[in-house]
Every structure is written in C-alpha cells, then in structure tokens.
Amino acid sequence: MAGEILDNKGRGGVGWEWPAIHPEGRKLGLIAVAASLFFLFALDWAIIGWPLLFLSFGVFAFFRDPERVVPQNDAAIIAPADGIVTLIEEVQPPVELQIDDGSGVAGLPSGLVTRISIFMSVFDVHINRTPIGGTVRRVVYIPGRFMNAELDKASEENERQHILIEQTDGMKLGFTQIAGLVARRIVPFVKPGDMVAKGQRVGLIRFGSRVDIYLPAGTDPSVMIGQTTIAGETVIAQIGQRGLIEGIAQ
C-alpha cells in the first residue's frame, strides 16, 4: 500500500504484487498491442504480428513502476536509479549546476566532489527518484549526442537533464539524467519550485541510460563499483560521513 510505514522490526504487512505500469508506458504498450493484432488478424502476417506482440509486453515491462520502501534517515542519500554503479570519481560539478542562473538561489559551490554514476540497462526500472527531500531549485535540459551512457564523456556530450535539490537546512545536491545509445527522451515529472520528498519519482529516461549524482563535499560513497542499486531504497552515502569501503565480487 502506498505510504504505508514499514520497518526492520516486522511492523507493516507486505506481499509481492505485479508492479504498476507508468502512464508513459501504457500508451506505447497499447499502440504496440494494437499494431500486433492488426498484423495477426487483419493481414494474417504472423511473422510480424507475433514479434510485435512480444515487443508490446517488453514495453509494458520497461515502464513498470514498483513501490519502494524509502529509508527515512535524515542523513541518508538514496540511489536515484536502478542499475549498476559503473564509475566513482572526483570531478567538478556540472557548470549548469554551479553558475548563477538568475533565480536568486546559489548553485553548487566549485571544487572537487565525488560523482557516482549508475548505468541502467533496458531491463532495469527506469523511473528515477530524488536522493534527498527538499525544494527543486533547477531543472536544466541540455540537448546532445546519444553515445554509450557507460562512457565517462557521456556526462558532457550526451543529451542530459540536471536537477538541483535544496534541503530545508540549505544543503544542496545535484544529479543528472543522461540519455544513452537507445534512450531518446528524458521525461521530467518536476519543475523548479516543487517540493519533493526523499525517494519521490522525479522523471524517467526511455530505453537505457545513466544517472550521475554529485555528493556534497566531505561525503564519501557507501557503494562500490559493480554494486547494484535500487532507486528509492539503496543508501549510497551518509551526509558528512567519510571512509571508503571495499568489496569482493563473488
């Protein structure tokens, strides 16, 4: 049930259920179903109709939108995307999140911060969620290329959308939705001035992509390269907490 409080002491009931399909996917899936039925029954072209019908189920699966249990620890920074951590490195935040945009609200300060890159394959859930709660200060869309989103330079050359969130205590955090080889559209659910809760849905990227998150200064990641994250659930860092961790692939 949406909004139900769950915890690690067994309070709150839960059971498996089919995930909902986001409205963006319902119309595309229904179009694919209609096309497949036309080829199957109107034209009797099974060689096209059956693959299209299979594709329609794939479209519905791609746009699945499961409920997530969001940790409510104030210091926790939550993964914005389902996928695999492919890059963790020290970088300058994007210029679009630093410069004065005329809104009267300062952007991120300059200086090196830790960037965590999460790559989403076509098999992952593609609904993105905000890592922290607060006020949306910037949503900046930048057209660009559609190279492999796993490449480091995709952060600067691919189609992308920057989002800046400010907590009530003034701490700001930025993250970027990046289109990939197959992705051709970034769909925002929020705009500047909106209030968002931690883990709230803020957008989606169609068909394979990546999300970069820029941790606040003085904060180290709690995830490792190769680790799988779940949007809205995986704690990728604790604000102000230092100390890197190691893991073994097995």
- Summarised one tens digit per residue, pLDDT across range 226-242 is 999 999 999 999 999 99
Task: State the Cα–Cα distance between residues 178 and 180, nearest whole angstrom.
Answer: 7
Band the pLDDT of 94: cuts 50, 70, 90: very high
- Record the tokens describing residue 232, joined without a space: 């809205």
Query: Residue 148 pLDDT more than 60?
Result: no
158: which DSSP letter?
A: B
Q: Residue 219: its pLDDT value, please?
A: 95
Q: How many residues does the chain have?
A: 250
209 is catalytic: yes
Q: Residue 181: its pLDDT value, please?
A: 65
Task: State the Cα–Cα distance between residues 44 and 152, nearest whole angstrom.
Answer: 47
Q: Looking at residues 12-28, what average pLDDT do you find?
A: 75
Q: Where are the domains positioned within the chain?
A: 20-65, 76-238
Q: Looking at residues 5-20, what average pLDDT do you find?
A: 73
pTM (2 d.p.): 0.84
Mean pLDDT of the chain: 86
Q: What share of the chain is helix, strand, coil (3-state, %, to 5)?
A: 20, 30, 50
Query: Residue 191 pLDDT more than 70?
Result: yes
Q: Residue 151: its pLDDT value, please?
A: 59
Q: Residue 118: its pLDDT value, please?
A: 96
91 backbone dihedrals φ, ψ, rounded to 5°: -145, 170
Q: Residue 183: its pLDDT value, please?
A: 53
175 CB neighbour count, 10 Å cutoff:
27
Q: What is the Cα 105 distance to its own chain's centre?
A: 24
| Residue of 56, 117, 209, 222 marked catalytic | 209
3.30.1120, 2.60.40, 2.40.30, 2.70.70: CATH of 76-238: 2.70.70
170 CB neighbour count, 10 Å cutoff:
8
